[in-house]
């Protein structure tokens, strides 16, 4: 061999060597075992299509820094196979690139193939062409469905195998999942459901991936599937076989948001309590759903009525910033748990009940012991005597003692910083104060005025059948001829329509009559408005606008969309009501809008009008040029003033927008109390404000040089004059930590510019409103912190009298350090 070729071959071999070492992944009743070592694993969900490929390395790096061992993701069938046997793995759908990015960071991967995913994703991840296949019945023992499911699952497995990405091949994928939460709905499918889940297990096993398969929320998961738990708390979960480890595939870090809904939040204290309690009671693997929620770009949001933001109050926010203190508080917990891995996965377990809702768990090996002390009372702190030492255990908390003597972590005591994120106006060079808009109307005259469609049938169609998910928009058009002697004729006539809960716009003889919509969880309503008809022919046009298809529940795939029917003319004559049912009339259908067909969001058409753009006008297209904001901070566009519609930046869809939909009432003015069981209605904010005002524009969508183009399709009517681009960055950082802690303050890539407040003693208040207490250290805390932190991107401080001097506090006072830093 030529010496150069030999050198290249040698370099190639050593480059691939870390990837070529196969790992053996097995399990027993205590843990997942990788290469013979029992593992305590912490994982987090990141859905690759909800970010961009350019964001993946940083997201995964921050996940690793947060103490994760693995990244978990679903695989999205509808995105990868948008038409039968036509596949797309490009851009942010590049699953293989995502898995390799995980591997490059030295983390494991958990591949939840499904291929039903739920995930608040459109139609649960099923492609609509599957729904329209003759004879198909989904998620049951149906040959048509199972053949398609096998084809897609096999495709994904073979792709991963081809790139040697299963752990058995030296890759990062240590676990895979088939189906998803089927046990929650299986009873609705009867014996066919039981047969289907057996088939799923056999089909998965036949693919020989060399790593274990999971089935979540499946208490009767066939062997060797590992059944796992999803929920707010899974400490009481028990696997269906003693040989299976206790695993938690979805620990909900927050909750999704819906149009018209409030913003849900889950506290760092409660989330940490749930995690610590799970590992205390024998858990070995838990996954945060979500660790980074991201954005529902395009038309991927399901529900219906799931917002474009899928932030989920996750440890990494929608834009990839650290959500502090949640990220930091969990990182501390992960570090402590990992330090106890061998003891927790192999040790003998004993427990003690102290009464008053306080209990302890001891893990013992020949090398030593580790302990947990838990108080599940939601109100009262308790002091206990454990092995001759007194410990105070706060309400609804877990204390962790790695050596069974010293408490190094308590879930209710947060010493991680709180970051206050702020939005800053676009400071791009030469950017005008306001955007300059051009516009053009959406031309639907043929549909609205004349009822001309592409296909006609004598019945009302489900929008899933008629539109095949090619667009949110579907026109339903019919006509009715009336004579003066028609029994329904009169001065008091209405048009009554039973809808499916999606958005509906109604036109009679080209005139707009009204609109109606619902909210998340509402799947029907009745629209009724008074109308005036002409003698002779009248045209009735209904424009249905879906806001995602249903994604969860038994037979969710059969949930109707669009106009459900009946569609009726109602004549009110004194005490008599006459109804004319139009449902079986000839209905014409047209999918989409003219502007969408013409791709106005990405074309260079010159037919845009430059002056006097209209406001509050339905079905209007707007376009504006803008400069990319300087720097690297995440970018958002503020769409306040608009109604509802679709938005694109440089031809990339940033999703549906709907700032005119205000969040419902029901927020409390009291601070959120972490104590007691959590659900998504417990800690909510944003009542009475736009459900979503700001929309993520990934940096990879932008041109750093030259102009960028924003295109809006405004469906309801709005005013774009206030639309502007902003960046998101940390504005200030606060800590409030007890003595004996070592705290870190960070401005996440920018320097600390000032210390607004610092006090060591018993300061009071919360971030933004700290004040000194009744006792203080002898040295000036403010000057000490200023010297350590100002001008630095991050700084660490020991919270102790050694740092700040002795205090005037008594021995019964828990001394704390409170700091507010400006970034």
Q: Residue 78: which CATH number?
A: 3.20.20.80
Q: Residue 587: which region, alpha, beta or left (left: phi > 0; alpha: psi -120 to 50)? A: beta
**Which is more confident, 342 or 432?**
342
Cα 361 to Cα 379: distance, rounded to the nearest angstrom: 22
User: pLDDT tens digit string along 496-549?
Assistant: 999 999 999 999 999 999 999 999 999 999 999 999 999 999 999 999 999 999
Domain presence at residue 407: yes
User: pLDDT tens digit string along 717-764?
Assistant: 999 999 999 999 999 999 999 999 999 999 999 999 999 999 999 999
* Radius of gyration of the chain from its Cα atoms, rounded to whole angstroms: 30
Q: Which of 564, 592, 620 is the last residue of a domain?
A: 592
Contact partners, residue 562, CB within 8 Å, separation at least 6: 461, 462, 463, 464, 466, 467, 474, 476, 499, 500, 502, 544, 546
Question: Are 231 and 299 members of one domain?
Answer: yes
Task: At 783, list the tokens.
Answer: 């000057």
Cα 660 to Cα 689: distance, rounded to the nearest angstrom: 9
User: pLDDT tens digit string along 31-80?
Assistant: 999 999 999 999 999 999 999 999 999 999 999 999 999 999 999 999 99
Question: Are 531 and 619 members of one domain?
Answer: no
Cα 628 to Cα 709: distance, rounded to the nearest angstrom: 10
Q: What is the pTM of this model?
A: 0.96
Given this model, what pLDDT does residue 739 score? 93
Domain presence at residue 165: yes
Query: Average pLDDT, stretch 581-610?
Result: 93
Sheet containing 587-591: order of strands: 455-457, 587-591, 473-482, 536-545, 503-508, 511-516
Whether pLDDT at 13 is above 70: no
Given this model, what pLDDT does residue 1 score? 40
Task: At 744, list the tokens.
Answer: 């870190």
Q: Which of 551, 568, 592 is the last residue of a domain?
A: 592
| Residue bearing tokens 């053949």 | 147
Given a contact cutoff of 8 angstroms between Cβ atoms, the answer to whether 18 and 271 are in contact is no
Selection from 231, 257, 128, 255 nearest residue 520 by Cα: 257
Cα 276 to Cα 412: distance, rounded to the nearest angstrom: 11
Q: What are phi and psi of 125, to 5 degrees?
A: 90, -5
* CB crowding 617-652: b at 16 or more within 10 Å, else e: ebbbbbbbebbbbeeebbbbbbbebbbbbbbbbbeb
**Which is more confident, 603 or 66?**
66
Query: Average pLDDT, stretch 677-685?
Result: 97
* Distance, CA of 383 to chain centre: 39
Count of domains in the chain?
Answer: 5
Question: Are 622 and 649 members of one domain?
Answer: yes
Selection from 411, 405, 415 nearest residue 277 by Cα: 411
Given a contact cutoff of 8 angstroms between Cβ atoms, the answer to whether 256 and 306 are in contact is yes
Given this model, what pLDDT does residue 428 score? 75
Given this model, what pLDDT does residue 755 score? 97
Cα 258 to Cα 460: distance, rounded to the nearest angstrom: 28
Given this model, what pLDDT does residue 451 score? 77
Whether pLDDT at 14 is above 90: no
Domain presence at residue 61: yes
181 is catalytic: yes
Question: Are 280 and 366 members of one domain?
Answer: no
Residue 294's Cβ-side half-sphere holds a number of Cα atoms within 13 Å equal to: 28
Given this model, what pLDDT does residue 444 score? 80
Given a contact cutoff of 8 angstroms between Cβ atoms, the answer to whether 480 and 585 are in contact is yes
Question: Are 129 and 276 members of one domain?
Answer: yes
Question: Are 179 and 250 members of one domain?
Answer: yes
Given this model, what pLDDT does residue 358 score? 98
Cα 82 to Cα 80: distance, rounded to the nearest angstrom: 6
Please list the alpha-helical segments (H only) found in 163-293.
Answer: 190-205, 268-280
Cα 268 to Cα 413: distance, rounded to the nearest angstrom: 10
Whether pLDDT at 442 is above 90: yes
Domain presence at residue 5: no
User: pLDDT tens digit string along 466-484?
Assistant: 999 999 999 999 999 999 8
Whether pLDDT at 126 is above 80: yes
Choosing from 72, 148, 179, 181, the catalytic residue is 181
Domain presence at residue 12: no
Domain presence at residue 23: no
Give Dmax over CA atoms of the chain in angstroms.
101
Confidence class for position 15, pLDDT limits 50, 70, 90: very low
Confidence class for position 426, pLDDT limits 50, 70, 90: confident
Could you tell me the CATH number of the domain that includes residue 810?
2.60.120.740
Could you tell me the CATH number of the domain that includes residue 352?
2.60.40
Selection from 305, 302, 297 nearest residue 648 by Cα: 297
Question: Are 430 and 359 members of one domain?
Answer: no
Confidence class for position 10, pLDDT limits 50, 70, 90: very low
DSSP labels for 30-83?
S-EEETTEEE-EEEEEE-GGGS-TTTHHHHHHHHHHTT-SEEEEE--HHHH-SB
The per-type count for the chain, helices as H runs and strands as E runs, is: 15, 43
**Quick one: DSSP state of residue 698?**
-
* CB crowding 805-820: b at 16 or more within 10 Å, else e: eebebeeeeebbbbbb
pLDDT, the chain, mean: 95
Antiparallel, parallel or unpaired: β 707-714 and 794-798: unpaired
Domain presence at residue 289: yes
Among 43-52, 132-141, 605-614, name the one with the lowest average pLDDT.
605-614
Q: Which of 592, 622, 649 is the last residue of a domain?
A: 592
Question: Are 433 and 453 members of one domain?
Answer: no
Choosing from 72, 250, 442, 820, the catalytic residue is 250
Cα 594 to Cα 613: distance, rounded to the nearest angstrom: 19
Confidence class for position 446, pLDDT limits 50, 70, 90: confident
Given this model, what pLDDT does residue 429 score? 63
Q: How far is CA 61 from CA 55, 333, 572, in A?
A: 10, 18, 67
Task: At 749, list the tokens.
Answer: 């890539």
Domain presence at residue 630: yes
Question: Are 196 and 284 members of one domain?
Answer: yes
Given a contact cutoff of 8 angstroms between Cβ atoms, the answer to whether 694 and 425 are in contact is no
User: pLDDT tens digit string along 611-642?
Assistant: 899 999 999 999 999 999 999 999 999 999 99
Question: Are 693 and 763 members of one domain?
Answer: no
User: pLDDT tens digit string along 320-347?
Assistant: 999 999 999 999 999 999 999 999 999 9
Whether pLDDT at 2 is above 90: no
Question: Are 503 and 437 members of one domain?
Answer: no
Given this model, what pLDDT does residue 16 score? 35
What is the domain extent for residue 466? 446-592
Selection from 185, 81, 75, 177 nearest residue 139 by Cα: 185
Given this model, what pLDDT does residue 21 score? 60
Task: At 786, list the tokens.
Answer: 């200023």
Question: Are 437 and 573 members of one domain?
Answer: no
Q: How far is CA 307 from CA 301, 563, 638, 652, 694, in A?
A: 7, 22, 15, 18, 11
Task: At 118, list the tokens.
Answer: 């739920």
| Residue bearing tokens 């995930």 | 119
105 is catalytic: no
Cα 679 to Cα 663: distance, rounded to the nearest angstrom: 18
Q: What are phi and psi of 219, to 5 degrees?
A: -65, -20
Query: Average pLDDT, stretch 164-188?
Result: 98
Cα 304 to Cα 559: distance, rounded to the nearest angstrom: 10
Could you tell me the CATH number of the domain that includes residue 431?
2.60.120.260
């Amino acid at each position: 061999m030529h010496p150069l070729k030999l050198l290249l071959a040698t370099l190639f071999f050593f480059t691939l060597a870390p990837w070529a070492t196969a790992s053996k992944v097995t399990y027993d009743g205590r843990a997942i075992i990788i290469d013979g070592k029992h593992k305590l694993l912490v994982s987090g969900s990141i859905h690759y299509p909800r970010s961009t490929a350019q964001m993946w390395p940083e997201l995964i790096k921050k996940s690793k820094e947060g103490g994760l061992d693995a990244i978990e993701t679903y695989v999205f069938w509808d995105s990868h196979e948008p038409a039968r046997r036509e596949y797309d793995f490009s851009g942010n759908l590049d699953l293989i690139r995502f898995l390799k990015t995980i591997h490059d960071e030295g983390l494991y991967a958990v591949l939840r193939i499904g291929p039903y995913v739920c995930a608040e994703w459109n139609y649960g991840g099923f492609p609509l062409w599957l729904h329209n296949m003759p004879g198909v019945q989904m998620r049951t023992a149906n040959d048509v469905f199972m053949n398609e499911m096998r084809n897609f699952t096999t495709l994904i497995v073979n792709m991963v195998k081809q790139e040697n990405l299963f752990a058995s091949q030296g890759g990062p994928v240590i676990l895979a999942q088939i189906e998803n939460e089927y046990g929650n709905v299986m009873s609705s499918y009867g014996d066919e459901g039981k047969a289907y889940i057996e088939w799923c297990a056999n089909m998965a096993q036949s693919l020989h991936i060399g790593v274990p398969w999971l089935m979540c929320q499946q208490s009767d998961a066939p062997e060797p599937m590992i059944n796992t738990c999803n929920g707010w708390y899974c400490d009481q979960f028990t696997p269906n076989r003693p040989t299976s480890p206790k695993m938690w595939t979805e620990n909900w870090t927050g909750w999704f948001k819906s149009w018209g809904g409030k913003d849900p939040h889950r506290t760092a204290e409660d989330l940490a309590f749930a995690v610590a309690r799970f590992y205390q009671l024998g858990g070995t693997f838990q996954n945060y759903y979500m660790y980074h929620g991201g954005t529902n770009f395009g038309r991927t949001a399901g529900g219906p009525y799931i917002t474009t933001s899928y932030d989920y109050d996750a440890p990494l926010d929608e834009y990839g910033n650290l959500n502090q203190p949640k990220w930091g508080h969990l990182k501390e917990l992960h570090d402590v748990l990992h330090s106890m891995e061998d003891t927790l996965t192999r040790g003998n377990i004993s427990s003690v009940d102290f009464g008053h809702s306080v209990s302890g768990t001891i893990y013992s090996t020949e090398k030593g012991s580790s302990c947990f002390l838990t108080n599940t009372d939601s109100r009262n702190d308790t002091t206990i005597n454990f092995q001759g030492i007194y410990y105070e255990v706060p309400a609804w908390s877990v204390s962790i003692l790695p050596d069974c003597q010293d408490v190094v972590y308590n879930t209710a005591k947060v010493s991680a910083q709180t970051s206050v994120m702020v939005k800053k106006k676009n400071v791009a060079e030469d950017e005008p104060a306001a955007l300059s808009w051009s516009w053009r109307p959406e031309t639907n005259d043929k549909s609205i005025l004349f009822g001309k469609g592409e296909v006609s049938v004598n019945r009302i169609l489900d929008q899933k059948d008629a539109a095949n998910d090619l667009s949110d928009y579907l026109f339903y058009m019919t006509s009715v001829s009336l004579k003066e002697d028609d029994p329904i004729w009169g001065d008091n006539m209405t048009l009554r329509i039973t809808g499916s809960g999606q958005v509906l716009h109604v036109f009679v003889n080209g005139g707009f009559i009204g609109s109606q919509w619902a909210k998340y969880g509402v799947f029907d309503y009745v629209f009724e408005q008074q109308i005036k008809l002409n003698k002779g022919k009248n045209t009735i046009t209904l424009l249905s606008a879906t806001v995602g298809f249903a994604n969860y529940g038994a037979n969710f795939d059969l949930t109707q969309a669009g106009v459900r029917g009946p569609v009726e003319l109602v004549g009110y004559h004194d005490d008599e009501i006459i109804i004319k049912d139009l449902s079986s009339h000839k209905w014409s259908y047209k999918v989409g809008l003219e502007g969408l067909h013409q791709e106005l969001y990405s074309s260079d058409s010159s037919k845009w009008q430059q002056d006097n753009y209209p406001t509050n006008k339905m079905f209007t297209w707007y376009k504006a040029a803008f400069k990319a904001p300087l720097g690297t901070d995440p970018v958002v566009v503020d769409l306040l003033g608009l109604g509802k519609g679709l938005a694109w930046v440089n031809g990339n869809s940033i999703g549906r927008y709907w700032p005119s939909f205000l969040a419902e009432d029901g927020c409390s003015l009291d601070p959120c109390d972490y104590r007691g069981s959590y659900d998504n209605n417990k800690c909510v904010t944003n009542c009475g404000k736009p459900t979503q005002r700001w929309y993520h524009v990934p940096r990879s969508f932008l041109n750093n040089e030259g102009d960028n183009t924003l295109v809006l399709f405004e469906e309801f009517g709005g005013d774009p004059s206030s639309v502007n681009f902003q960046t998101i960055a940390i504005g200030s950082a606060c800590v409030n930590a007890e003595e004996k802690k070592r705290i870190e303050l960070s401005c996440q890539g920018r320097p600390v510019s000032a210390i607004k407040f610092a006090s060591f003693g018993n300061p009071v208040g919360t971030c933004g409103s700290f004040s000194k207490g009744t006792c203080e250290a002898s040295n000036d805390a403010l000057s000490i912190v200023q010297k350590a932190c100002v001008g630095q991107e991050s700084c660490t401080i020991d919270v102790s009298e050694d740092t700040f001097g002795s205090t005037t506090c008594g021995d019964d006072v828990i001394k704390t350090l409170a700091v507010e830093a400006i970034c």
